[in-house]
Amino acid sequence: MFFRKYEIRVYIAWIAALAAIGLAIWLLMTPPFIGVADNGDFSRLMRITGFRYLDPQETYADRYFAFAHQYFGYKSNWGSAYVTTQILLLAVIGWIARIFNDQVFDIRWFGAVYTLLLASAVYLIIRYIPSNPGRKFATGLAAAVTALILLFVFGDVGYLAYFQSFFGEPYALLGMLLAIASAFALASKDQPTGRLLALFVIASLAVATSKIQNAPLGFAFALLAWRMFSLREDRRWHRQVLTGISVLLVSSVLMIVAAPSGLKHINLYQSIFFGVLKGSPDVSRDMKELGIPEKYAVLAGTNFYQKGTAIPQNDPELEREVLLKLSHKDIALYYLRHPGRFVEKLERASANAMFIRPYYLGNYDQSAGKQRGAVSHTFSGWSDWKAHRMPNTLGWFAGFYLIYFAALIVWWLRSRSNRVRLGLETMAAVGLAGVFSAVVPILGDGEADLGKHLFMFSACFDMMVVSAAGAVLYGAVRMIARSRVS
C-alpha cells in the first residue's frame, strides 16, 4: 500500500539527505575534531576573507602539515585577492559566525554549511533518479541502493574532512555534485523551472571559478546548458538559458585572464622545470627547443618552493629570460610535438590519481593527542580502498573511460528522447570534466603535488562510478520487474 500511494523517490531522497547530515555530524561535529592540516595554501583565502591563526607564536611544525585547527581568530580583510568565488561564501559564513562569537571562529561553521550543500545534492540526485513506470517497488529499490552507494563514496571521511579547512576542494566538489544533480533534475521534469536552471548555472559557476585550473570546465558546462535550450519552447526559457550560457562563458574567460602574474609565473616555473624538464632524457635539447638559456639546466627537476637551489626561483634574471618569454601555450605545443613525453606525464599522474585526500596532511587537532600527521580512518572504506587497492595505471583509466563512453554513446544512439539524451550528456560531461582535470594540472603545474591537484579528476571518477553503478542497477531492476510481469 505504501509503495502504491506515495512517490517513493521523495521519501528515499529525504532519508538519504538526512543520512548525509547524520554522517557528517558523526564524523565532523563530535569529538575528536576532524579537519585537514594547512600545507601553506590556507593563507590565500584567510587573508582576504578575514581570518587568522589564533596563536601568532605557534611554531611552523605545529601550524603546518601535522595538525588540523578547529579555532581561528578574526582580522581585517587585507592582502591581494586569490581569484575564486569561494571568497564570497567563506566571508559570508564568517560574518554570520561573528554574531555568535566575535572573538573566535569555529571552523565547524564551514563544515555545517558544506554539509547542507552535500545533503541538497544527495536529495536532488535520488529524487530525480530514473523511475520504472508502474513499478514503484523497483524504483524504490533502485533509489535506495543508489543512495547507499552515493553516501558510501561521497560521505567518506576523505571528502568530509575537507569541509573543515580553507582548501578549495570542497567548494569545487559540492559545486560539481549540485551542477550534475540539477542537470539530472532538469532532464527529468516535464516542465523544467528557472530555479533549477539557476541552480545549475550557479553550481557550474562555482566549479569553474573555484580555482584557475578549473576555469576550462566552465566551457563544458556552457555546452551542456546549450543542450537544455530545447527543454521548453517558450522565449522566456530561451532567454534564461542564453543568459546562463553567457555567464558561464564570460566567467571562465575572466578567471583565465584575471590570474595574478605572480601566480602565473609560479605555475609556469613548475610546468617547465618540474614538468617538461623533470625526467627529460635530453635536458639540453628540450631547453634549446623552448629557448631557455643553458645556464638554467641546474634547475631541471626542481619545484618553485624548493630551498637551496643553485639559482633562486625568484631571481629577476630568470623571470626576465624565461618566465616572461614563455607561456603555457609553449608547454602545450611542446607536448603536442612530443606526445610520448605527455604520455609519460599522464602515467605519472595516473599513479597519483586515486588519492581523495593527501595522506601527508594530518586530520586531528593537536588537542586530540594523536601522533603528528595522523589521519582518520573512520568511515574511510572508499578512500582507503581507492588509494591502496584500485589499479592506478594509465591503461586502467583509459579502459574505464573507453567502456564508460562507449556505453553512453550506444545508449544515446538507441534513445529517441531528448530528456534521456540530456541525462546521458550530463554523464558524459562528468567524464570530460575528469579529462580536463587530469590534463590541466600537468600543463599548468607540472608534477607539483599531483595527488592534491588531481582531486577533481578523482572526484569526477567517483561520480562516473556512482552513475555507472546506478545505471546498471536501474537496468537490472527493470529487467527483473519485466520478467516477473511476463
What integer pLDDT is reported at residue 485 of this predicted model?
Answer: 61
What integer pLDDT is reported at residue 356 of this predicted model?
Answer: 96
What integer pLDDT is reported at residue 124 of this predicted model?
Answer: 98
Q: Please provide residue 226's backbone torsions phi and psi, each rounded to the nearest 5 degrees.
A: -60, -35
Q: pTM for this structure?
A: 0.95
SS3 letters across the chain:
CHHHHCCHHHHHHHHHHHHHHHHHHHHHHCCCCECCCECCCHHHHHHHHCEEECCCCCCHHHHECCCECCEEEECCCCCCCCCCCHHHHHHHHHHHHHHHCCCEEECHHHHHHHHHHHHHHHHHHHHCCCCCCCCHHHHHHHHHHHHHHHHHHHCCHHHHHHHHCCCCHHHHHHHHHHHHHHHHHHHHCCCCCHHHHHHHHHHHHHHHCCCHHHCCHHHHHHHHHHHHHHHCCCHHHHHHHHHHHHHHHHHHHHHHHCCCHHHHHHHHHHHHHHHHCCCCCCHHHHHHHHCCCHHHHHHCCCCCCCCCCCCCCCCHHHHHHHHCCCCHHHHHHHHHHCHHHHHHHHHHHHCCCCCCCCCCCCCEEHHHCCCCCCCCCCCCHHHHHHHHCCCCCHHHHHHHHHHHHHHHHHHHHHCCCHHHHHHHHHHHHHHHHHHHHHHHHHHHHCCCCHHHHCHHHHHHHHHHHHHHHHHHHHHHHHHHHHHHHC
What integer pLDDT is reported at residue 442 of this predicted model?
Answer: 95
What integer pLDDT is reported at residue 407 of this predicted model?
Answer: 96
Q: Count of residues for the chain?
A: 486
170 prior amide bond cis, ω within 30: no
What integer pLDDT is reported at residue 479 of this predicted model?
Answer: 78
pLDDT tens per residue across all 486 residues of the chain: 444 555 899 999 999 999 999 999 999 999 999 999 999 999 999 989 999 999 999 999 999 999 999 999 999 876 666 889 999 999 999 999 999 999 999 999 999 999 999 999 999 999 999 887 667 888 898 999 999 999 999 999 999 999 999 999 999 999 999 999 999 999 999 899 999 999 999 999 999 999 988 999 999 999 999 999 999 999 999 999 999 999 999 999 999 888 776 778 899 999 999 999 999 999 999 999 999 999 999 999 999 999 999 999 999 999 999 999 999 999 999 999 999 999 999 999 999 999 999 999 999 999 999 999 999 999 999 999 999 999 999 999 999 999 999 999 999 999 999 999 999 999 999 999 999 999 999 999 999 888 889 999 999 999 999 999 998 888 887 777 677 665
**What is the C-alpha to C-alpha distance for residues 146 and 152, in angstroms, rounded to an integer?**
10
